[in-house]
Protein backbone atom coordinates (compact mmCIF):
# COMPACT_ATOMS: atom_id res chain seq x y z
CA UNK A 1 0.00 0.00 0.00
CA UNK A 2 1.45 3.30 -1.00
CA UNK A 3 0.75 6.44 0.99
CA UNK A 4 1.62 9.13 -1.53
CA UNK A 5 -0.80 10.85 -3.86
CA UNK A 6 -1.30 14.03 -5.82
CA UNK A 7 -0.38 17.05 -3.69
CA UNK A 8 -3.25 19.05 -5.16
CA UNK A 9 -5.88 16.81 -3.65
CA UNK A 10 -7.35 19.54 -1.47
CA UNK A 11 -6.65 23.13 -0.60
CA UNK A 12 -5.99 22.00 2.95
CA UNK A 13 -2.50 20.82 2.08
CA UNK A 14 -1.00 24.27 1.41
CA UNK A 15 -2.89 25.56 4.49
CA UNK A 16 -1.37 22.93 6.69
CA UNK A 17 2.02 23.69 5.20
CA UNK A 18 1.51 27.40 5.86
CA UNK A 19 1.42 26.71 9.59
CA UNK A 20 4.96 25.43 9.34
CA UNK A 21 6.17 28.25 7.14
CA UNK A 22 7.67 31.33 8.84
CA UNK A 23 5.86 34.59 7.98
CA UNK A 24 9.14 36.01 6.78
CA UNK A 25 11.59 34.50 4.32
CA UNK A 26 14.48 35.52 6.59
CA UNK A 27 14.94 32.74 9.19
CA UNK A 28 16.50 35.06 11.80
CA UNK A 29 13.75 37.61 11.46
CA UNK A 30 11.18 34.81 11.38
CA UNK A 31 12.26 33.55 14.78
CA UNK A 32 11.13 36.84 16.34
CA UNK A 33 8.15 37.40 14.09
CA UNK A 34 4.92 35.51 14.84
CA UNK A 35 3.39 33.64 11.91
CA UNK A 36 0.48 35.45 10.30
CA UNK A 37 -2.83 34.86 12.06
CA UNK A 38 -4.56 33.83 8.84
CA UNK A 39 -1.97 31.14 8.21
CA UNK A 40 -2.61 29.58 11.60
CA UNK A 41 -6.37 29.70 11.49
CA UNK A 42 -7.44 28.97 7.92
CA UNK A 43 -8.99 31.31 5.41
CA UNK A 44 -10.46 33.82 7.83
CA UNK A 45 -10.53 34.86 11.45
CA UNK A 46 -14.34 34.94 11.47
CA UNK A 47 -16.10 32.81 14.08
CA UNK A 48 -16.75 29.26 12.90
CA UNK A 49 -20.32 28.46 11.85
CA UNK A 50 -21.26 24.81 11.95
CA UNK A 51 -22.64 24.86 8.40
CA UNK A 52 -19.25 25.91 7.06
CA UNK A 53 -17.55 22.77 8.32
CA UNK A 54 -16.64 20.18 5.69
CA UNK A 55 -14.63 16.98 5.61
CA UNK A 56 -12.37 18.08 2.75
CA UNK A 57 -11.56 21.53 1.42
CA UNK A 58 -12.97 23.31 4.48
CA UNK A 59 -11.88 26.95 4.73
CA UNK A 60 -13.13 27.57 8.28
CA UNK A 61 -10.65 27.66 11.17
CA UNK A 62 -9.40 24.11 11.76
CA UNK A 63 -8.13 24.78 15.27
CA UNK A 64 -11.57 25.07 16.86
CA UNK A 65 -13.21 21.79 17.80
CA UNK A 66 -16.60 23.31 18.54
CA UNK A 67 -19.23 23.79 17.24
CA UNK A 68 -19.14 20.07 16.38
CA UNK A 69 -20.82 19.16 13.11
CA UNK A 70 -20.06 15.43 12.84
CA UNK A 71 -21.31 13.94 16.12
CA UNK A 72 -20.45 10.44 14.88
CA UNK A 73 -16.75 11.37 14.74
CA UNK A 74 -16.72 12.90 18.21
CA UNK A 75 -18.66 9.93 19.63
CA UNK A 76 -16.14 7.50 18.11
CA UNK A 77 -13.33 9.47 19.73
CA UNK A 78 -15.07 9.18 23.13
CA UNK A 79 -15.82 5.46 22.64
CA UNK A 80 -12.26 4.74 21.54
CA UNK A 81 -10.84 6.45 24.63
CA UNK A 82 -13.24 4.46 26.83
CA UNK A 83 -11.80 1.26 25.26
CA UNK A 84 -8.22 1.97 26.29
CA UNK A 85 -6.02 -1.09 26.77
CA UNK A 86 -2.34 -2.05 26.68
CA UNK A 87 -0.77 -5.35 25.51
CA UNK A 88 1.14 -5.99 28.76
CA UNK A 89 -2.14 -6.28 30.67
CA UNK A 90 -2.83 -9.63 29.01
CA UNK A 91 -1.43 -12.79 30.51
CA UNK A 92 0.65 -14.67 27.94
CA UNK A 93 1.87 -17.52 30.18
CA UNK A 94 -0.37 -20.25 28.69
CA UNK A 95 0.67 -19.22 25.17
CA UNK A 96 4.35 -19.43 26.09
CA UNK A 97 3.84 -22.83 27.70
CA UNK A 98 2.01 -24.20 24.65
CA UNK A 99 4.46 -22.71 22.13
CA UNK A 100 7.44 -24.26 23.94
CA UNK A 101 5.74 -27.65 24.26
CA UNK A 102 5.43 -30.31 21.57
CA UNK A 103 1.65 -29.85 21.55
CA UNK A 104 1.54 -27.61 18.46
CA UNK A 105 1.80 -28.86 14.89
CA UNK A 106 4.03 -27.22 12.26
CA UNK A 107 0.91 -26.11 10.38
CA UNK A 108 -0.40 -24.34 13.48
CA UNK A 109 2.95 -22.63 14.01
CA UNK A 110 3.01 -21.50 10.39
CA UNK A 111 -0.40 -19.82 10.82
CA UNK A 112 0.83 -17.91 13.87
CA UNK A 113 4.13 -16.86 12.26
CA UNK A 114 2.58 -15.77 8.97
CA UNK A 115 -0.09 -13.73 10.71
CA UNK A 116 2.53 -12.05 12.87
CA UNK A 117 4.47 -11.37 9.68
CA UNK A 118 1.49 -9.68 8.07
CA UNK A 119 0.07 -7.74 11.01
CA UNK A 120 3.35 -6.54 12.53
CA UNK A 121 4.02 -4.36 9.49
CA UNK A 122 0.44 -3.76 8.25
CA UNK A 123 -0.52 -1.65 11.25
CA UNK A 124 2.59 0.44 10.70
CA UNK A 125 1.50 1.08 7.11
CA UNK A 126 -1.93 2.18 8.34
CA UNK A 127 -0.45 4.45 11.03
CA UNK A 128 1.95 6.04 8.55
CA UNK A 129 -0.87 6.67 6.10
CA UNK A 130 -2.91 8.47 8.76
CA UNK A 131 -0.07 10.59 10.08
CA UNK A 132 1.85 11.34 6.89
CA UNK A 133 -0.92 11.46 4.30
CA UNK A 134 -4.61 11.32 5.24
CA UNK A 135 -4.64 13.63 8.27
CA UNK A 136 -3.62 16.77 6.40
CA UNK A 137 -6.39 16.32 3.85
CA UNK A 138 -9.17 15.85 6.40
CA UNK A 139 -10.13 19.45 7.14
CA UNK A 140 -12.35 18.83 10.13
CA UNK A 141 -11.24 19.02 13.77
CA UNK A 142 -13.58 16.37 15.22
CA UNK A 143 -12.48 13.86 12.56
CA UNK A 144 -8.87 14.79 13.23
CA UNK A 145 -9.45 14.24 16.94
CA UNK A 146 -10.52 10.66 16.19
CA UNK A 147 -7.62 10.14 13.75
CA UNK A 148 -5.14 11.16 16.43
CA UNK A 149 -6.65 8.56 18.73
CA UNK A 150 -6.62 5.98 15.92
CA UNK A 151 -2.95 6.69 15.22
CA UNK A 152 -2.16 5.91 18.85
CA UNK A 153 -4.23 2.72 18.69
CA UNK A 154 -2.23 1.57 15.65
CA UNK A 155 0.91 2.06 17.75
CA UNK A 156 -0.68 -0.08 20.48
CA UNK A 157 -1.47 -2.77 17.91
CA UNK A 158 2.10 -2.83 16.60
CA UNK A 159 3.16 -3.08 20.26
CA UNK A 160 0.74 -6.01 20.77
CA UNK A 161 2.20 -7.94 17.81
CA UNK A 162 5.71 -7.28 19.07
CA UNK A 163 4.58 -8.44 22.53
CA UNK A 164 3.31 -11.75 21.11
CA UNK A 165 6.45 -12.17 18.96
CA UNK A 166 8.67 -11.52 21.98
CA UNK A 167 6.61 -13.72 24.34
CA UNK A 168 6.73 -16.71 21.99
CA UNK A 169 10.39 -16.08 21.17
CA UNK A 170 9.83 -15.89 17.39
CA UNK A 171 12.67 -14.88 15.09
CA UNK A 172 12.06 -11.12 14.87
CA UNK A 173 14.16 -10.63 11.73
CA UNK A 174 12.19 -13.34 9.95
CA UNK A 175 8.76 -12.09 11.08
CA UNK A 176 9.28 -8.37 10.44
CA UNK A 177 10.72 -9.04 6.98
CA UNK A 178 7.92 -11.28 5.79
CA UNK A 179 6.24 -8.35 4.07
CA UNK A 180 9.27 -8.19 1.79
CA UNK A 181 10.03 -11.87 1.63
CA UNK A 182 6.73 -13.78 1.57
CA UNK A 183 4.80 -13.26 -1.67
CA UNK A 184 1.29 -13.61 -0.23
CA UNK A 185 2.06 -10.94 2.39
CA UNK A 186 3.98 -8.72 -0.01
CA UNK A 187 1.02 -8.75 -2.41
CA UNK A 188 -1.24 -7.19 0.23
CA UNK A 189 1.36 -4.72 1.53
CA UNK A 190 2.12 -3.55 -2.00
CA UNK A 191 -1.51 -3.20 -3.10
CA UNK A 192 -1.74 -0.10 -5.30
CA UNK A 193 -4.75 2.23 -5.27
CA UNK A 194 -3.73 5.30 -7.23
CA UNK A 195 -5.29 5.84 -10.60
CA UNK A 196 -7.26 9.06 -10.18
CA UNK A 197 -6.35 12.68 -9.64
CA UNK A 198 -6.95 15.06 -6.77
CA UNK A 199 -9.83 14.49 -4.39
CA UNK A 200 -10.87 11.29 -6.17
CA UNK A 201 -7.41 9.90 -5.45
CA UNK A 202 -7.93 10.81 -1.81
CA UNK A 203 -11.28 9.03 -1.79
CA UNK A 204 -9.58 6.02 -3.32
CA UNK A 205 -6.85 6.18 -0.67
CA UNK A 206 -9.53 6.13 2.06
CA UNK A 207 -11.20 3.11 0.42
CA UNK A 208 -7.77 1.43 0.11
CA UNK A 209 -6.91 1.85 3.78
CA UNK A 210 -10.20 1.90 5.69
CA UNK A 211 -12.26 -0.51 3.57
CA UNK A 212 -9.67 -2.82 2.00
CA UNK A 213 -6.73 -2.90 4.41
CA UNK A 214 -8.62 -2.59 7.70
CA UNK A 215 -11.89 -4.06 6.41
CA UNK A 216 -10.76 -7.01 4.23
CA UNK A 217 -7.01 -7.72 4.55
CA UNK A 218 -7.20 -8.04 8.34
CA UNK A 219 -10.06 -10.49 8.47
CA UNK A 220 -8.55 -13.88 7.49
CA UNK A 221 -5.89 -13.27 10.13
CA UNK A 222 -8.50 -12.32 12.71
CA UNK A 223 -10.42 -15.57 12.06
CA UNK A 224 -7.25 -17.69 12.24
CA UNK A 225 -5.96 -16.15 15.46
CA UNK A 226 -9.34 -16.03 17.20
CA UNK A 227 -9.97 -19.65 16.20
CA UNK A 228 -7.01 -20.71 18.35
CA UNK A 229 -8.67 -19.11 21.36
CA UNK A 230 -11.99 -20.77 20.53
CA UNK A 231 -10.16 -24.10 20.71
CA UNK A 232 -8.64 -23.08 24.04
CA UNK A 233 -5.20 -22.60 22.54
CA UNK A 234 -3.03 -19.44 22.66
CA UNK A 235 -5.65 -17.62 24.80
CA UNK A 236 -3.40 -14.60 25.48
CA UNK A 237 -2.70 -13.97 21.79
CA UNK A 238 -6.41 -14.50 21.11
CA UNK A 239 -7.32 -11.89 23.69
CA UNK A 240 -4.86 -9.41 22.17
CA UNK A 241 -6.62 -9.98 18.85
CA UNK A 242 -10.06 -9.51 20.43
CA UNK A 243 -9.04 -6.05 21.63
CA UNK A 244 -7.48 -5.28 18.24
CA UNK A 245 -10.59 -6.48 16.39
CA UNK A 246 -12.75 -4.21 18.54
CA UNK A 247 -10.53 -1.21 17.71
CA UNK A 248 -10.34 -2.11 14.02
CA UNK A 249 -14.10 -2.38 13.73
CA UNK A 250 -14.34 1.21 14.87
CA UNK A 251 -11.52 2.35 12.56
CA UNK A 252 -13.30 0.84 9.59
CA UNK A 253 -16.67 2.30 10.58
CA UNK A 254 -15.10 5.72 10.99
CA UNK A 255 -13.54 5.42 7.52
CA UNK A 256 -16.88 4.39 6.03
CA UNK A 257 -18.61 7.37 7.67
CA UNK A 258 -15.91 9.71 6.31
CA UNK A 259 -16.15 8.24 2.81
CA UNK A 260 -19.94 8.51 2.78
CA UNK A 261 -19.84 12.07 4.12
CA UNK A 262 -17.31 13.12 1.44
CA UNK A 263 -19.60 11.56 -1.19
CA UNK A 264 -22.62 13.44 0.21
CA UNK A 265 -20.76 16.76 0.27
CA UNK A 266 -19.07 16.26 -3.12
CA UNK A 267 -21.45 14.13 -5.24
CA UNK A 268 -19.50 14.99 -8.40
CA UNK A 269 -16.55 12.92 -7.12
CA UNK A 270 -18.52 9.67 -7.03
CA UNK A 271 -18.59 9.11 -10.76
CA UNK A 272 -19.40 5.85 -12.55
CA UNK A 273 -15.69 5.45 -13.23
CA UNK A 274 -14.82 5.85 -9.54
CA UNK A 275 -17.54 3.40 -8.51
CA UNK A 276 -16.40 0.81 -11.04
CA UNK A 277 -12.75 1.25 -10.14
CA UNK A 278 -13.57 0.93 -6.42
CA UNK A 279 -15.51 -2.28 -7.01
CA UNK A 280 -12.62 -3.58 -9.08
CA UNK A 281 -10.16 -2.77 -6.28
CA UNK A 282 -12.29 -4.80 -3.88
CA UNK A 283 -12.32 -7.67 -6.40
CA UNK A 284 -8.50 -7.60 -6.63
CA UNK A 285 -8.21 -7.38 -2.84
CA UNK A 286 -10.41 -10.46 -2.40
CA UNK A 287 -8.09 -12.45 -4.70
CA UNK A 288 -5.02 -11.38 -2.72
CA UNK A 289 -6.69 -12.15 0.59
CA UNK A 290 -7.81 -15.62 -0.53
CA UNK A 291 -4.26 -16.31 -1.80
CA UNK A 292 -2.91 -15.19 1.57
CA UNK A 293 -5.28 -17.52 3.44
CA UNK A 294 -4.34 -20.47 1.21
CA UNK A 295 -0.61 -19.82 1.60
CA UNK A 296 -0.90 -19.33 5.36
CA UNK A 297 -3.05 -22.42 5.86
CA UNK A 298 -2.25 -24.91 3.08
CA UNK A 299 -3.78 -27.69 5.20
CA UNK A 300 -6.73 -27.29 7.55
CA UNK A 301 -6.15 -26.80 11.27
CA UNK A 302 -8.46 -26.87 14.27
CA UNK A 303 -11.71 -27.19 12.30
CA UNK A 304 -11.02 -24.54 9.66
CA UNK A 305 -9.47 -24.81 6.20
CA UNK A 306 -8.38 -22.56 3.34
CA UNK A 307 -11.48 -23.33 1.25
CA UNK A 308 -13.71 -21.71 3.88
CA UNK A 309 -11.78 -18.45 3.55
CA UNK A 310 -12.82 -17.92 -0.03
CA UNK A 311 -16.47 -17.73 1.06
CA UNK A 312 -15.62 -15.72 4.14
CA UNK A 313 -13.54 -13.08 2.36
CA UNK A 314 -16.24 -12.74 -0.33
CA UNK A 315 -18.93 -12.40 2.34
CA UNK A 316 -16.92 -9.71 4.13
CA UNK A 317 -16.18 -7.88 0.86
CA UNK A 318 -19.90 -7.76 -0.05
CA UNK A 319 -20.70 -6.16 3.29
CA UNK A 320 -17.97 -3.54 2.81
CA UNK A 321 -19.17 -2.72 -0.72
CA UNK A 322 -22.74 -2.19 0.49
CA UNK A 323 -21.59 0.03 3.36
CA UNK A 324 -20.06 2.51 0.90
CA UNK A 325 -23.06 2.40 -1.40
CA UNK A 326 -21.77 -0.08 -4.01
CA UNK A 327 -23.52 -3.20 -5.23
CA UNK A 328 -22.39 -6.48 -3.72
CA UNK A 329 -20.77 -8.91 -6.16
CA UNK A 330 -20.47 -12.35 -4.55
CA UNK A 331 -23.52 -13.36 -2.51
CA UNK A 332 -21.49 -15.85 -0.43
CA UNK A 333 -22.56 -17.14 2.97
CA UNK A 334 -20.53 -16.61 6.13
CA UNK A 335 -18.83 -19.91 7.07
CA UNK A 336 -17.71 -18.45 10.41
CA UNK A 337 -20.91 -17.20 12.08
CA UNK A 338 -19.05 -17.24 15.40
CA UNK A 339 -17.05 -14.23 14.19
CA UNK A 340 -20.22 -12.10 14.39
CA UNK A 341 -20.71 -13.44 17.90
CA UNK A 342 -17.17 -12.38 18.80
CA UNK A 343 -17.93 -8.90 17.49
CA UNK A 344 -21.26 -8.70 19.34
CA UNK A 345 -19.68 -9.95 22.54
CA UNK A 346 -17.07 -7.25 22.26
CA UNK A 347 -19.76 -4.67 22.66
CA UNK A 348 -21.12 -6.25 25.80
CA UNK A 349 -18.10 -7.62 27.63
CA UNK A 350 -16.84 -5.48 30.44
CA UNK A 351 -13.20 -5.12 29.49
CA UNK A 352 -12.36 -3.61 32.83
CA UNK A 353 -13.18 -6.82 34.70
CA UNK A 354 -9.90 -8.46 33.73
CA UNK A 355 -7.77 -5.37 34.19
CA UNK A 356 -4.46 -5.92 35.93
CA UNK A 357 -3.32 -2.33 35.72
CA UNK A 358 -5.05 0.72 37.13
CA UNK A 359 -4.63 3.82 35.01
CA UNK A 360 -3.72 7.06 36.69
CA UNK A 361 -6.44 9.61 36.25
CA UNK A 362 -6.60 13.38 36.65
CA UNK A 363 -5.93 14.47 40.22
CA UNK A 364 -4.17 11.21 41.01
CA UNK A 365 -1.15 11.82 38.82
CA UNK A 366 2.21 11.84 40.52
CA UNK A 367 5.50 12.73 38.91
CA UNK A 368 8.13 10.93 40.93
User: Is residue 114 at the binding interface for Fe ion, with CB under 5 A as the rule?
Assistant: no
The alpha helices in 7-140, defined as continuous H runs, are 12-20, 27-32, 37-41, 71-82, 93-100, 106-129, 135-137
Q: How would you classify residue 337: left for phi > 0, otherwise alpha for psi between -120 and 50, otherwise beta?
A: alpha
What is the spatial distance between Cα 9 and Cα 203, in angstroms, rounded to a whole number?
Answer: 10
Helix, strand or coil, per DSSP, at residue 304: strand
- Contact stretch for Fe ion (CB under 5 A) within 91-99, 156-164, 279-287, 334-342: 156-164
Q: Is 76 in the site for Fe ion (CB under 5 A)?
A: no
Closest separation between CB of residue 272 and Fe ion, Å?
A: 30
Dihedral of alpha carbons 132, 145, 358, 235, sign? negative
Asked whether the beta carbons of 123 and 218 are under 8 A apart, the reply is no
Instruction: Mark the segment that binds Fe ion (CB under 5 A) among 30-38, 81-89, 245-253, 257-265.
Output: 245-253
Contacts of residue 35, defined as CB under 8 A and 6 or more positions apart, other chains included, come to: 18, 19, 21, 22, 23
- The three-state secondary structure class of 46 is coil
Looking at the Cβ atoms of 152 and 330, the one nearer to Fe ion is 152
Query: Considering only residues 121-150, where is the footprint of Fe ion by CB under 5 A?
Result: 123
* Region near Fe ion per CB under 5 A, out of 31-39, 77-85, 164-172, 214-222: 214-222
| Residue 301 DSSP label | B
Among 61, 154, 204, 310, binds Fe ion (CB under 5 A): 154
Handedness of CA 125, 131, 136, 138 (dihedral sign): positive
Regarding 318 and contact with Fe ion (CB under 5 A), the answer is no
Residue 83 Cβ vs Fe ion, minimum distance, rounded to whole Å: 13
Binding range to Fe ion, per CB under 5 A, among 44-52, 58-66, 77-85, 153-161: 153-161
Exactly one of 69, 157, 229, 230 binds Fe ion (CB under 5 A); that residue is 157
- Catalytic annotation present for 163: yes
Please give the Cα distance from 173 to 247 (Å, whole number): 27
Site string (248-267) toward Fe ion, x via CB under 5 A:
x--x----------------
Residue among 139 and 158 whose Cβ is closer to Fe ion: 158
The smaller minimum CB distance to Fe ion, of residues 251 and 320, is found at: 251
Of the two residues 108 and 214, which places its CB atom closer to Fe ion in the complex?
A: 214
Closest CB to Fe ion among 225 and 306? Answer: 225
Which of 278, 282, 284, 274 minimizes the C-alpha distance to 317?
282
How many residues of this chain bind Fe ion (CB under 5 A)? 6
Q: Which of the residues 77, 163, 209, 292 is marked catalytic?
A: 163
Binding site for Fe ion (CB under 5 A): 123, 154, 157, 214, 248, 251
- Which residues are designated catalytic? 163
Amino acid sequence: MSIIWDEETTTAAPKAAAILTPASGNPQQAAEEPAKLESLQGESTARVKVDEKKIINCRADLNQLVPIKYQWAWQKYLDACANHWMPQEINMSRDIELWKSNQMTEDERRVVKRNMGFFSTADSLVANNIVLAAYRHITNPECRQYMLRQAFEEAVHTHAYQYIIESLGLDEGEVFNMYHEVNSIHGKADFETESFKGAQTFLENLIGYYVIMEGIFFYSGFVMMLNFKRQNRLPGSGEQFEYILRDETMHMNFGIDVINQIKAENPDLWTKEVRERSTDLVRQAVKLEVAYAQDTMPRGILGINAGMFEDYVQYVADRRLEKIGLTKIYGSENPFPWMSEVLDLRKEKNFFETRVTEYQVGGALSWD
